[in-house]
C-alpha cells in the first residue's frame, strides 16, 4: 500500500505554524518546521507550496521571510489538506486495460469504480469532520 506520509507531514507543518503564531511569532521558516518533522526544508517548502496554492497558507520572501496561516486552524479541515496534497485515488485500477473481449475484463472496472467512489466519498466525509484546530488540540493533549 501507500508508504505515503504527505497528509501527516502537512498536518504537522500546519499545527506547528499555528502553535508558533499563537506564541506571538509572525512567520515560521521551513527550516524550523523541517527540524520538528525531522526532514529536509525543501520537502516542507514543496508541501507548503501546495497548501499555498489551495489558500491554506501564505509565504513571504526576503529577510525575515517564512510561512503563516492564511486562515484560522479551526476553519481548515483535513479534507482541505488532503485535497491540496494527495493527487490520486485511494485504490487504483489495473495498470493495463483488461481484456475487453472477456465479460469480466469488460465489466470489472466500472463495477469497482462505483464501489471505490463510494468509499472515497466516505473518507472525504470523515476527513472533513476534523479541523486542524482539533488536531492541534489533540497534539497538545498528548501526555509527556
Partner DNA sequence: ATTGTCGTAACAATTAGTGTTGCGACTATC
Partner DNA sequence: GATAGTCGCAACACTAATTGTTACGACAAT
CB of 66 to DNA, least distance (A): 4
SS3 per residue for the chain: CCCCCHHHHHHHHHHHHHHHHHCCCCCECHHHHHHHHCCCHHHHHHHHHHHHHCCCEEEECCCCCEEEECCCHHHCEHHHHHHHHCCCCCCCCCCCCCCCCCHHHHHHHHHHHHHHHHHHHHHHHHHHCCEHHHHHHHHHHCCC
Q: Which is nearer to DNA, 46 or 125 (CB)?
A: 46
Alpha carbons 9 and 3: distance in angstroms, whole number? 13
Residue 15 in contact with a copy of itself, rule: CB under 8 A: yes
Among 25, 26, 31, 35, binds a copy of itself (CB under 8 A): 35
Among 64, 101, 110, 143, binds DNA (CB under 7 A): 64
Residue 10 in contact with a copy of itself, rule: CB under 8 A: no
Residue 109 in contact with DNA, rule: CB under 7 A: no
Are 14 and 80 a contacting pair, CB within 8 Å? no
Q: Of the ranges 48-56, 63-71, 94-102, which one interacts with a copy of itself (CB under 8 A)?
A: 94-102
Q: Of the ranges 44-52, 53-61, 64-72, 82-90, which one interacts with a copy of itself (CB under 8 A)?
A: 82-90
Among 21, 36, 43, 70, binds DNA (CB under 7 A): 43
Binding site for DNA (CB under 7 A): 1-6, 9, 28-31, 39-43, 45-46, 48-49, 52, 59-67, 86-88, 92, 95-96
Amino acid at each position: 500500500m501507500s508508504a505515503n506520509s504527505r497528509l501527516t507531514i502537512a498536518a504537522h507543518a500546519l499545527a506547528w505554524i499555528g502553535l508558533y503564531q499563537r506564541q506571538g511569532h509572525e512567520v515560521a521558516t521551513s527550516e524550523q518546521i523541517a527540524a520538528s518533522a525531522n526532514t529536509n526544508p525543501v520537502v516542507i517548502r514543496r508541501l507548503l507550496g501546495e497548501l499555498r496554492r489551495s489558500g491554506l497558507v501564505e509565504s513571504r520572501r526576503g529577510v525575515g521571510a517564512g510561512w503563516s496561516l492564511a486562515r484560522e486552524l479551526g476553519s481548515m479541515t483535513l479534507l482541505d489538506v488532503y485535497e491540496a496534497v494527495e493527487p490520486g485515488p485511494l485504490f487504483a485500477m489495473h495498470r493495463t486495460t483488461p481484456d475487453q473481449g472477456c465479460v469480466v475484463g469488460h465489466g470489472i472496472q466500472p463495477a469497482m469504480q462505483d464501489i471505490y467512489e463510494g468509499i472515497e466519498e466516505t473518507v472525504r466525509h470523515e476527513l472533513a469532520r476534523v479541523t486542524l484546530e482539533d488536531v492541534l488540540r489533540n497534539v497538545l493533549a498528548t501526555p509527556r
